[in-house]
A and B are shown apart, each in its own frame.
Chain A
Amino acid sequence: MSSFLSSSIGKKLIMSLSGLFLVLFLLVHLILNSFLMFDNTGELFNAGAHFMAMPVIRFGLQPVLFGGFIVHIIYAIILTLQNQKARPQKYASQNLSNSSTWSSRNMFVLGGLVLVFIAMHLMHFFVPIQIQGNVHDDYQLVKNLFTNGSTGLVYTGLYVVGAILLGLHLAHGFWSAFQSIGMSNIIWRARLEKAGYIYAIIISGGFIIIPLYLHFFA
C-alpha cells in the first residue's frame, strides 16, 4: 500500500478521486445557491441553509469535505514540487500553446487562486454562520454582501472572477480525473472533454449569475 501511494499514478489517483468528490460538492453547492434566485423573501434559501446546518451534515459530512480539500491541496503541492524538480534546467524557448490548453498547464496556479477565493468566501459566510453562529437570516447576510453600498459591486466582481477561475480549473480537471483513473480511451476522451467543458460552464456560469442577480435584481 505504501508503494502504491508513493507511486506517481497512485498520487494522481488520489488527486482524481478527491477532485471528483469536490466536483460533486460544487453541484450540491450550486443547487442550494440557486435558491437565492427563486425566492426573494429568502425563505427557500434559509430552509436550505438550515438543512445543511443539521448535525448529521455539519459534523458528519463537513469534516469529510474539508478532508477532501486538504488531501487535494497537499497532493497538488507534492506532485507540483516533484514536477518542478524533474526539469532542473528550463528551455530558453518553449512553445506549448499549440500543443496544450492554457488551463491544463496552469492547474496549480488556478487551484491556488481558487484557494485564495475560498478563504475569502469562508470568511464571508462560513465563519459568521457556522463558527460565530450569530446569523439569524442567512439570506440577508448573502444579499447584504452583494448589495451593500460601496463594497457590493467589488464583492460581486470578486465572486465573478472566482467563478471564472474555478471554471478554468474544472475545464481541465474534470476530464483529467477520468484519464488518471484510467477511465478513458480514444472515443471516451472526446466525450469526457466535452462533458468537462459543459460541467465547467454550468458550475462557473451558475456561480457568476447568482451574485450578479443579487446585486442588480434582488
Chain B
Amino acid sequence: MADKVIKELTIKVWRQKNAKTAGKFETYKINDISGGTSFLEMLDILNEQLINDGQEPIAFDHDCREGICGMCSLFINGRAHGPDDDITTCQLHMRKFNEGETITIEPWRAGAFPVIKDLIVDRTAFEKVLQAGGYISVNTGGVPDGNAIPISQDDAEEAMDAAACIGCGACVATCKNSSAMLFVSAKVSHLAKLPQGRVEASRRAKNMVAKMDELGFGNCTNTGACEVECPKGISIANIARLNREFLSAKIKD
C-alpha cells in the first residue's frame, strides 16, 4: 500500500535567536509530505525550503535518528516527542498527523534547561547530575565471567530496564513541576540493583539528589506523567527506589 501523502501542513514553531533574546512563534506552510517521512526529516525538508527562501533554518537537536542517543527533543502538539507512545521524536512519523493540521513545536520548557536557539535547549544540567555520582569510582575489571558474580535474573532485568534511560529530558519536559526525578531515579537504580554499584549507593543517592535540587528542577508530585511520555518506558517504581535509597542513606548519617 502506498504511503499516504499529506498535501498541506501548517507548522507553528518556536523561533529564538539565542539564549539572551526573547523568542516567538513563527508559522510556516509545508506541502506534499509522505506519511513515511520521519518528523525530523519533515523539519529537514522545511529547512531546505527556508534556506531556498533565504531564511534562517530552524535549529533542532538530533544525532543517531534511531531512538537510542537521546539527542532529539521537541514538544509537539502538547506532548514530549509528539503524539505516539514509547518513541523519540526521530521515531515519530508523519502518518500520525492529519491533512491540513497545524503542528505546534516548542522546545523543552524548564528553568534548568534554558533555550540556546530555536528548539535547542541546554541539557548540561543532566551531565552535572551524573557527574555528582552516576558512576562507579573503582575499576571493576574486564568483562567478567557471566556466573562469577551471582545476580538474580529479576535484579539484572530491573537494572537493565533502568539503564535504558537515554537522558533525553522528556520526563522534565512533561512534568508539570519540571522535576528530574525519573531521570535521577533511573541513573541511581541501574547501579543500585547491582553489587558493583552498591558500594557507593548511599553517597550516590545523596549527591545526585543534592545536585538535582541545586540545579533548580522541581519537586516530584507523583503524577506519573513522566513514565507515560518516557520514550524508554522507565517506570516511576524507580522513583520509589530513589526515595528509599536517599532516605536510608540520610538515616545512616
Q: Which residues of A contact B (CB under 8 A)?
A: 3-4, 6-13, 79, 82-83, 85-96, 98-101, 104-105, 107, 172, 175-176, 179-186, 189
Contact = CB atoms under 8 A, between A and B. Distances in A.
Interface in B210-253: 210, 212-213, 216-225, 228-229, 235-237, 239-248, 250, 253
Q: Interface SS of chain A: helix, strand, loop or mixed?
A: helix
Contacts of A96: 174, 176, 223, 225
Interface string B102-118: 00101001111000000
Contacts, number: 138
B203 interface: no
B178 interface: yes
Nearest to A185: B237
Contact of A99 (B109, B224, B253): B224
Interface stretch (B75-83, B132-140, B141-149): B75-83
Contacts of A95: 77-79
A86 B241 contact: no
Interface of B: 25, 75, 77-79, 104, 106, 109-112, 174, 176-179, 181, 209-210, 212-213, 216-225, 228-229, 235-237, 239-248, 250, 253
B212 A8 contact: yes
A91 B109 contact: yes
Contacts of B243: 9, 12-13, 179-182
Contacts of B253: 4
A211 B56 CA distance: 66
B219 A79 contact: yes
A87 B221 contact: no
Nearest to B241: A182
A109 to B, nearest CB: 12
Contact of A9 (B109, B223, B246): B246
B192 to A, nearest CB: 12
A82 B218 contact: yes
B239 A179 contact: yes
A174 to B, nearest CB: 11
Nearest to A5: B250
